[in-house]
A and B are shown apart, each in its own frame.
Chain A
Amino acid sequence: MKIEVNGAPQEVAAGTVAGALAEMGWTTGRVATALNGEFVPKSAREATMLREGDRLEVLAPMQGG
C-alpha cells in the first residue's frame, strides 16, 4: 500500500508500523514514531496497523539548542 514516510511517498508491504520500519531498514537505530500526527510509542509499533494514505513520521536524534 502507499503511505507517506517523512513527507515522501513510500510503497510498503507491511501492515504495521513495526513492519514498515523493518522494511525500510530502521530496526537497529534509535528512532521515534508518530502516525497521522499521533505519537506511537516503541511498545505499540507491533500493534499499530497502517492504512492507505497514512502519514508516518520517523524521527532520530539531532543537534539542538
Chain B
Amino acid sequence: MRDFYDTAFDTPLMLGTAQYPSPAIMEAAFRASGASVATVSLRREAGQGQAFWDIIRGLGVHVLPNTAGCHSAREAITTARMARDLFETDRIKLEVIGHADTLQPDPFGLLEATEVLAAEGFEVFPYTTEDLVLAGRLVDAGARVLMPWGAPIGSGLGLNNRHGLRTLRAGFPDIAMVVDAGLGLPSHAAAAMEMGFDAVLLNTAVAQAGDPVAMAEAFGLAARAGALAARADAMAPREMATPSTPLIGKAWL
C-alpha cells in the first residue's frame, strides 16, 4: 500500500469537521466512521477555536489542515505557514480556488504554491482535478500525494469522470492519491477505492445527512470494502452469461 509522506493511515477514510448539527454529533460521526484523518481550517479567532481544537485532539486522529477559501498562491502559502505554526504538522491540504461557482482549483496558482511549500518541507496534499499533465507538474514540484476531485466540492455528484480518474491512477503508480470532494454516497467511496485510490476525503455527505453518525459508519465501511476489493483482483466482466452452478451431475428430467 502506498503511504502518505511515510505515514500509513489505519483506514482509507479522511473526514471533514465542518457543517455538523453539533460538536457532539461530529465527535460521534468520527468514532462511527473509523476515519484516520480529520481536516481542519484556520479562521479569525472568535472564541470558539480552542474548544473545537480540544475535541479534535480527543479524537486521536491525524490532522490535515487546509487552505480552503484561498484564491491565490500567495494567500495559500501564507495560510499554509500559519497552519503549520498552529497545528504543528507539516501536512497541508493545499486548495487554491480558481472558480467561484465550481470551486475548482486554479492549476497555475496550485502549482506555484506547491513548488514553494514543498521546498519549505511541507507535506503537500494538493487539491487538483484529474488532469494528467497538471498531476505530472505537481509531482515534479515535490508533491508525493495528489488529491483529485470526484466532483465539485459539496455537490454530492460522485465520480464525474471515471475514465479520467482511472487514467490518472494508472499514470502515477507510486503516488498516493485521495479522491477528495464531490462524493455523495458510500457507493461513490467504494467505487473510488475499487479503482485503486488510496483514500477518500469527504465532509458534506456525512455532515449534511439526516443521520450523520449512520452515514459516517456507512462511508467508513464502504471505503474499507472498496480497498479490500482493490487488492482482491476482481474478475473481468463478460458480455454473455456463464452458469455458476455446475452442469455436471444435473438430473435427466
Interface residues of A (CB under 8 A from B): 6-7, 26, 29-34, 37-39, 41-42, 57-65
Contacts and interface: CB of A to CB of B under 8 A. Distances in A.
Contacts of B41: 61-65
B203 A65 contact: yes
Interface of B: 16-20, 26, 39-46, 48-50, 52-53, 56, 65-66, 68, 74, 78, 81-83, 85-87, 153-154, 203-204
Prevailing SS type, chain B contact patch: mixed
Contacts of A41: 81, 85
A40 to B, nearest CB: 9
* The 8 residue pairs across chains A and B that have the minimum distance between CB atoms: A60-B49, A64-B41, A65-B16, A65-B203, A32-B82, A60-B45, A63-B18, A32-B86
Contact of B86 (A31, A37, A64): A31
30 contacts: A6-B44, A6-B45, A29-B50, A30-B49, A30-B53, A30-B86, A31-B45, A32-B42, A32-B82, A32-B83, A33-B85, A34-B78, A34-B82, A37-B78, A38-B78, A39-B82, A41-B81, A58-B45, A59-B43, A59-B44, A59-B82, A60-B42, A60-B50, A62-B40, A63-B19, A63-B41, A63-B52, A64-B16, A64-B66, A65-B16
A61 B65 CA distance: 9
Given A61-B53, A62-B40, A65-B18, A29 B45 contact: yes
Nearest to A44: B85
Contacts of B17: 63-65
Contacts of B43: 59-60, 62
A61 B87 contact: yes
Nearest to B69: A64
Contacts of A6: 44-45
Contacts of A60: 42-46, 48-50, 53, 86
Contacts of A64: 16-18, 39-41, 65-66, 68
Nearest to B23: A63
A6 B26 CA distance: 28
Contacts of B46: 60
A61 B52 CA distance: 7
Given A41-B85, A62-B52, A26 B153 contact: no
Nearest to B44: A6
Contacts of B56: 61
A42 B50 contact: no
Contacts of B203: 65
Nearest to B87: A61
Contacts of B40: 61-64
Contacts of A7: 44
A6 B49 CA distance: 14
